Amino acid sequence: MEIVLSECDKMQSGAPYDPGCPELVAIRKRAQGLMRDYNQTIMGDPQRAEILQSLLGSWNGAVIRAPFHVDYGMNIHFGPGCFANFNLVVLDVCPVHIGARTQIGPNVQILTADHPRDAASRAKAVEWGRPITIGADVWIGGGAIILPGVTVGDGAIIAAGAVVTRDVPAGATVMGNPARQQKRKES
């Protein structure tokens, strides 16, 4: 017996999927409505918590400054004590796990979505993704971009403007485009 996966199951597992299927369109529309509602609030509005609990896979009281943008929301999991500054963009076609006490600067992009490299395949409108895991106590500087499939270890620092294309070891500092690990200076 052949098991048939929904397009949502395919998407979340990293398999190629059709982003235009009705199920995924409905989930994105729901997320868009919740983002619209959230982005119209200000700090201290009591409905913020309710909106984030409805939008995110795991909220855990993260402080997220509006505006905040997601694809689906349901695949985003914040640990306790996280902070995200203005204009965080998370394309969450696959799971995104953000560890406890991680701090995210303004205009950061966390992108699990990926696309075919050749034009003919792109024209078929099929895409896929790879999950992103960010450890605990990580600092991500303003304007940084984290690409599909990256794991960032606990206590790492992603410098402002870095484009992270590969895994970052725990405690490392990376900067540049593509981001490269900086050597520790001897004291």
The catalytic residues are 115
Q: What is the DSSP letter of 184?
A: P
Any idea which residue has 């969450």 for tokens? 92
Q: Please tell me the distance from the alpha carbon of residue 58 to that of residue 65, in angstroms, as a whole number.
A: 17
Please report which helix (H) or strand (E) contains residue 157, including its range. strand 157-158
Length of the chain: 187
Report how far residue 61's alpha carbon sits from residue 154's, in angstroms, rounded to the nearest whole number: 20
